Amino acid sequence: MSRIRTLIADDHPEMLAALVSVLEDDPRFSVVGTAMTGGEAFRFASEVPLDVVLLDVHMPDGGPATAEAMAALPRPPVVVAISAQSGPGTVEEMLRAGAVGYLAKTRVGDALGDLLARCVAGEVVLATPAGAGTLRSLMGAPVRTE
């Protein structure tokens, strides 16, 4: 079983370094590249075959646009958004742009590798407090909790 080829894109250097450290320590993943802007991430993805892209939502060139551009690639990678923000609008926006996962940075803890692996395996993971609301909104259901 080959390692999951991963691109990590985050404009916060400390965060980027932490993410790289965590995934490199995980035998399931091979971090093949990093990017600090959306543009860099897209160029890398269009040149290097990738399985998954962990994409920060708020960074130069923007998260949703980058996700959308990647979805248009001949072999599009799985895009998982990661963000310190978790407003329902943002989550919904990323999902519409093609992301299949949304991870809240403050809630990941030591589960990053597991969550990312599940997304690569085809699951949809919304590890954010706004996940349920976003889902109901996307489905057009009444925004109400009984």
Partner 1 sequence: MGQAGEKGPAVGPQVIFGIDTTGCCTLSIGPGLEDLGVEPGQLVGVNLLELYADDPTAVQHLRQALAGETLTVEREFGGRILSVFYQPVFDDDGTVTGAMGVSTDVTEQRRIEEVARASRERASLLADLSNALTREVLDPDAVLRVAIRSLTEAVAEVGAVWVRTPGADRLEPKTVWHVDKEARKAWYDWRAQLPPRVHLPLAEAEPLETPHLLDLENASGWRDPHGEFLARLTRRFRLQTGLRVPLRSRGLLVGVIDVARGERKGAFTEEDVALVIEVAERCALALDNALLLEAHRVAREDLVKFQALADASENLIAITSDEGHEVYVNPRVDEAGIKVAKEDIWSTVSDIAGRPLGTEIRSALEKAGRWSGDLSISPDAGEMVVYVDVFSLSHPDTGTSLGTGWIAQDVTGLRATEAALREANSDLKQFKALVEASPDFIAIANLDGSVKYVNPGGRQMIGMDPDADVTTTRIPDYVTPEVLDQYLEGVLPAVMANGHWAGEANLRSRRGQVIPVAVASFLVREPETGEPFALATVQRDITERLAAETALRELAKQRQALLSRLVDAQDAERAQIAADVHDDPVQALAAVDLRLGLLSRKLGEQAPALLETLGTVQASVSGATDRLRTLLFDLEPPDLEHGLTGALQRAADEIFDSIPTRWVVDGDREPDVPDATRAIAYRIAKEAMMNARKHAEAHNVVITIAGRDHGLEVCVSDDGVGLGPDPVQSTPGHRGLFTMQDRAEIAGGRCTIDNRRPSGTLVTLWLPVPHPSAE
Residues near partner 1, by CB under 8 A: 12, 14-15, 17-19, 21-22, 25, 58, 84-85, 87-89, 105-106, 108-112, 129-130, 132-133, 143-146
Q: In the complex, what is the shortest distance from the CB of residue 14 to partner 1, in angstroms, rounded to a whole number?
A: 4
Q: Which is closer to partner 1, CB of 76 or CB of 131?
A: 131
Q: Using alpha carbons only, how large is the chain's radius of gyration in Å?
A: 14
Q: In the complex, what is the shortest distance from the CB of residue 41 to partner 1, in angstroms, rounded to a whole number?
A: 17
Q: Which is closer to partner 1, CB of 26 or CB of 69?
A: 26
Q: Which is closer to partner 1, CB of 36 or CB of 76?
A: 36
Cα gap 121→46, rounded to integer Å? 22
Cα gap 119→103, rounded to integer Å? 11
